[in-house]
Amino acid sequence: MLGYALRRVLSAIPIVFITIAVCFFILRLAPGGPFDGERALPPDVLRNLREYYNLDKPLPLQFVDYILGVLRGDFGPSMVMRDFSVARLISIGLPFTLMLGFAAFAIGTAAGLIAGALAAFYQNKWPDYLLVFVVLIPLVIPNFLMANLAQLVFGVYLRWLPVGGYQPGAILNLVMPVLILSMPHGARVARLTRGSMIEVLGTNYVRTARSKGLGTRLILARHAIKPALIPVVSYLGPGLSYLLTGSLVVEQVFALPGIGKYFITAALNRDYGLVLGTTILYVFIILALNLLVDIVYAWLDPKVRYR
């Protein structure tokens, strides 16, 4: 297992390099730049800015300098937010984004597992039909539209929860963002759990356990849950990465101080350093979560052998 993990880490290096290269050259070659605004800067000022940020060098030399900086852990300065480095901005927004994403992940996973197991247990009965209908709603309605509807209903009309913003310790401000973010994740987990549980409950060894007189709870605990979780675990890694990257829109809608605010601002203002820094961060998160999922998958299914 250790050798497999090491090979996966080594194989991820070309992926990271290609991602950085593609994002770097797309940003540089696209029309416009971080210093283009409604009011054009004087030529001398623009020349000094380009020299200060090494934008006056040939593009291949800029790419080499950036790669060397990333290897040292230096993602460069922000070109729009003065006096802030990219690493500093990421360190400010990342803890909140992680808190939001992991909270939505825990709630959505738990609710999805329970709903999927209940739907499978009551297959083709009214609880199954009701749960299937409920989990389809967050899959059909986009999260930004769901967030606006929740703000309108629970924040404006009923006034139960704050519409947006966040201050340290303001738990109520996180209720709507976490629920909106967790609903699509929980719906996908519920659908996977239902399908997998139905398949497992129809296997020969489960029928044998029933014929021996074992109760439903004991069958589920000893024979059904673990194999039914295998396709769910395969999704949890990409699902968590989706929550951490997909929180950009939710953070923007609810005016939350996460990475999403910096990423969207950087994308609109063509802040090369901040866009590349957040992209690299998300790539590392996705690769790490996929590696973790493979390890847990091998634990759940002993037949899996990595060579």
Q: Write the pLDDT tens digit of every residue in 55-114.
A: 778 888 888 888 888 888 888 888 777 777 888 888 888 888 888 888 999 999 999 888
- Between CA 1 and CA 261 the distance in angstroms is 39
Per-residue confidence (pLDDT) for residue 62, from 0 to 100: 84
- Between CA 245 and CA 95 the distance in angstroms is 13
pLDDT at 207 over 70: no
pLDDT at 296 over 90: no
CA neighbours closer than 13 Å in the CB half-sphere of residue 57: 11
pLDDT at 25 over 90: no
CA-to-CA dists, residue 82 to 6, 33, 88, 120, 124, angstroms:
39, 16, 12, 55, 60
**Band (1; pLDDT cuts 50, 70, 90):** low
- Between CA 49 and CA 161 the distance in angstroms is 45
Listing DSSP states for 34-103 in one string gives TT--SSPPPHHHHHHHHHHTTTTS-HHHHHHHHHHHHHTT---B-SSSTT-BHHHHHHHHHHHHHHHHHH
- Between CA 1 and CA 252 the distance in angstroms is 40
Which of the following CATH numbers is that of domain 98-257: 3.40.640.10, 3.40.50.300, 1.10.3720.10, 3.90.1640.20? 1.10.3720.10
- Hey, which of 250-254, 264-268, 288-292 has the most confident mean pLDDT? 250-254
Once rounded to an integer, what is the mean pLDDT over residues 200-210?
70
Which one-letter amino acid corresponds to residue 177? P
Q: Which residues contact 116 (CB under 8 A, 6 or more apart)?
A: 131, 189, 190, 191, 192, 193, 194, 196, 197
Per-residue confidence (pLDDT) for residue 107, from 0 to 100: 93
Reference 148, options 247, 249, 241; nearest CA is 249
**Band (307; pLDDT cuts 50, 70, 90):** low
Q: Which residues of 196-215 are buried (b: 16+ CB within 10 A; e: fewer)?
A: bbbebbeeeebeebeeeebe
Q: Give tens-digit pLDDT for 159-204.
A: 888 888 777 777 888 888 989 988 988 899 988 888 888 877 777 6
Per-residue confidence (pLDDT) for residue 88, from 0 to 100: 84
Q: What does the block give as tokens for 225?
A: 């849950």
More confident residue, 60 or 121: 60
Mean pLDDT, all residues of the chain: 80
More confident residue, 259 or 189: 189
Tell me if residue 301 falls in helix, strand or coil: coil
pLDDT at 146 over 90: no
Once rounded to an integer, what is the mean pLDDT over residues 5-20?
80
